[in-house]
Amino acid sequence: MQFDLPLQTLYAASLLGGAAFALSGFLTGVRKGLDLMGIFILSFLTANGGGVIRDILVGRPVALVHEAEPFLITSGVVLLALTLKLHKLPQLEQRLGFVVSDAVGLAAFGLSGALVGLEVQAQFFGVLALSLLTAAGGGILRDLLVNEVPELLHGGFYGSVALLQGAAIFGLHAAQSLNTATLLAAFCAALALRLIAYRGKWRLPKPAKPAE
Amino acid sequence: MQFDLPLQTLYAASLLGGAAFALSGFLTGVRKGLDLMGIFILSFLTANGGGVIRDILVGRPVALVHEAEPFLITSGVVLLALTLKLHKLPQLEQRLGFVVSDAVGLAAFGLSGALVGLEVQAQFFGVLALSLLTAAGGGILRDLLVNEVPELLHGGFYGSVALLQGAAIFGLHAAQSLNTATLLAAFCAALALRLIAYRGKWRLPKPAKPAE
Amino acid sequence: MQFDLPLQTLYAASLLGGAAFALSGFLTGVRKGLDLMGIFILSFLTANGGGVIRDILVGRPVALVHEAEPFLITSGVVLLALTLKLHKLPQLEQRLGFVVSDAVGLAAFGLSGALVGLEVQAQFFGVLALSLLTAAGGGILRDLLVNEVPELLHGGFYGSVALLQGAAIFGLHAAQSLNTATLLAAFCAALALRLIAYRGKWRLPKPAKPAE
């Protein structure tokens, strides 16, 4: 089975999502007092770290080494953000445009991770893990580099979307129903779920900490 | 030379050890205020991160992508721990059952790392590094994710056990004496050494910090 | 094209640089209160982490697994530093000998990363990234392990040297002018640039943090 067509269809989504991730890295970098190179690196890692982790885990050459595009997109985002002084805007990360773009990235990257998992014939949990790490790996690296506990681990209904999407894609594939239409449906469902969860401030429960 | 037989013999040990590592990740996650997904991820990484690092370093496909078992074990541990509210038990990590299971994991994982090193014909220090990282890599990732300096780097006679075991297995192999019996002996010696070190609170010396 | 000759010519530089990186890891480890094994691990990772990241990114076997030399050099540096109590020397990292050795490492490692990038036919930005990560990846891992924001991201004109050197080597290769002489020139230029930048306390600009 070839995934070329849906992947091309979803290509624009991954570009928009990558730009949102890059912007999130930019804003974190400015907030943490990094210099221009540090900000660029953080921005780039946030946008592309998930894909690098995915490629390393499945043992194929890291796509990034051979593709100029991600570097150009990150550079564009950073230059634009600096020019427009986006870091001066209060609460940019809560604005609708950012939230939607970020959710588009989550859905597009998670989908790409799940498809790579199917390509290497990963088992069910492997597909879920690849979906999660491709979507959220960049954010994990961003938080690790600036010494914060990754938001993914405590912050809301975000990674869960990637896990559910991975499960759906695995199921569709097992039922031999994976095609352009169902892939796009999985993408839209993940996007909608993330936006609903964001709106409703969904959170996963946390067990009570023990008394020390 | 085939290591299949001893590896099967030591299989139960790695399961028990993996469960202990997963429990340690669970407890750390609860303590750090992570949500359920964060706790599961931390638990999973603690149990399996060492093996992932090992596979990446020797350039072979990451076993985890294709094996459902580790995910099922971690899920079982997390569900059981939540049901039994194990995080409410004071000082669980100092109880005999936990300490022994963790030491079993150290010995079993270290041994697996050393054997993979021999398979890829690593040199002496490479075998030691693989033994250490397979045994302790999961704990390092756990500590990094929650922003603590890895306990391995300052905490006691733990990684040293993996290094000594790696050296022993390299020596046995060089002396063409590696077989089921000697492998099991190396496993038992590492286990005993760790328990003695724990009991005796062995510590490696620390150079005095310079006056700032 | 074969790079064997220049690589051999630059071999001594990478040894000296590796020793400087190892010493930097040693000093950080002592300052952070690590024990002897932790100090050795930190020292080793600082010296060799960049090369490991490089090898993983281009998907080739990690050289370290098969080479005893890096382990011997780190061991030598750590033993020597302990014997001479180098950590008692005030501001060792600002002394001329250390600064020059570290700059030699930056130039030699960055060059090695760029050459590996050319070998795997990476595109322009891929060569730059490999140059940067090979030169500075060890320092990044060092800082992450002891919970500090990597100095590379905010600390001065350091990574920029590797990026410029990578660009120069890519350009030389594109112009079919890469040979022993030009490689050595690129090495010397990077070394000189780093020393001038250090002397002049060059810094990249930092955008003003937003008012919270």
Residue A210 included in any domain:
no
Residue A107 included in any domain:
yes
Average pLDDT over residues A166-176: 97
C103 in Cβ contact with C14 (< 8 Å): no
pLDDT class for B5, splitting at 50, 70, 90? low
- Given CB atoms, is B200 within the 8 Å cutoff of chain A? no
Residue B13 neighbours by CB under 8 Å, 6+ apart: B104, B105, B107, B108, B187
Residue with tokens 């500090």: C148
Tokens of residue B68, six digits:
């459902």
Residue of B nearest to A148 (CA): B147
Residue C212 included in any domain:
no
Rg of chain C's alpha carbons, rounded to an integer?
17
Q: What is the DSSP letter of B123?
A: -
pLDDT of residue C1: 46
C6-37: burial string, b at 16+ Cβ within 10 Å, e else: bbeebeebbbbbbbbbbbbbbbbbbebbbbbb
A20 in Cβ contact with A194 (< 8 Å): no
Interface confidence, given as ipTM, is 0.91
pLDDT of residue B191: 96
Rg of chain A's alpha carbons, rounded to an integer?
17
Residue A205 included in any domain:
no
CA torsion through residues C77, C82, C83, C85, sign: positive
Q: What is the pTM of this model?
A: 0.93
pLDDT class for B13, splitting at 50, 70, 90? confident
pLDDT of residue C210: 75
CB contact under 8 A, C145 and B153: yes
pLDDT class for B180, splitting at 50, 70, 90? confident
Interface test with A, best of B34, B57, B91 (most A CBs within 10 A): B34
- Rounded Cα distance between B135 and C152, Å, is 30
CB contact under 8 A, A71 and C125: yes
- Rounded Cα distance between A61 and B140, Å, is 26
Instruction: Tell me how far the alpha carbon of residue A9 is from its chain's centroid.
Output: 18
Taking 50 as the pLDDT cut, the residues of chain C under it are 1
pLDDT at B211 over 80: no
- Rounded Cα distance between A77 and A68, Å, is 15
Tell me which of B5-9, B100-104, B172-176, B204-208 is least confident.
B5-9
Total domains in chain A come to 1
Per-window interface: C 30-59 vs B, CB < 8 A: 30-39, 41-42, 52, 56, 59
pLDDT of residue A13: 85
Residue B62 neighbours by CB under 8 Å, 6+ apart: A57, A58, A59, B52, B55, B56
Mean model confidence pLDDT for chain A: 92
| Domain interval for residue B25 | 4-199
Tokens of residue C102, six digits:
């570290």
Q: What is the pLDDT of residues A78-124, one digit of tens each?
A: 999 999 999 998 888 888 989 999 999 999 999 999 999 999 999 99
Nearest to A190 by CA among A128, A106, A114, A112: A106
For chain C, percent helix, then strand, then coil, each to nearest 5? Answer: 75, 0, 25
pLDDT at A204 over 50: yes
CB contact under 8 A, B35 and A149: no
Residue B212 included in any domain:
no
- Rounded Cα distance between B86 and B47, Å, is 17
Residue A156 neighbours by CB under 8 Å, 6+ apart: A197, A198, A201, A202, A203, A204
CB contacts of C154 in chain A (<8 Å) are: 32-35, 38
Average pLDDT over residues A171-200: 95
Q: What is the pLDDT of residues B23-65, one digit of tens each?
A: 999 999 999 999 999 999 999 999 999 999 999 999 988 988 9
CB contacts of A72 in chain C (<8 Å) are: 125
Average pLDDT over residues B111-129: 95
- Rounded Cα distance between C150 and B190, Å, is 36
Alpha-helical runs (H) found in chain A? 4-9, 11-31, 36-57, 69-83, 96-119, 124-145, 159-174, 180-199
Tokens of residue B187, six digits:
């496993």
- Rounded Cα distance between B40 and B78, Å, is 7
pLDDT of residue A211: 66
pLDDT of residue A197: 96
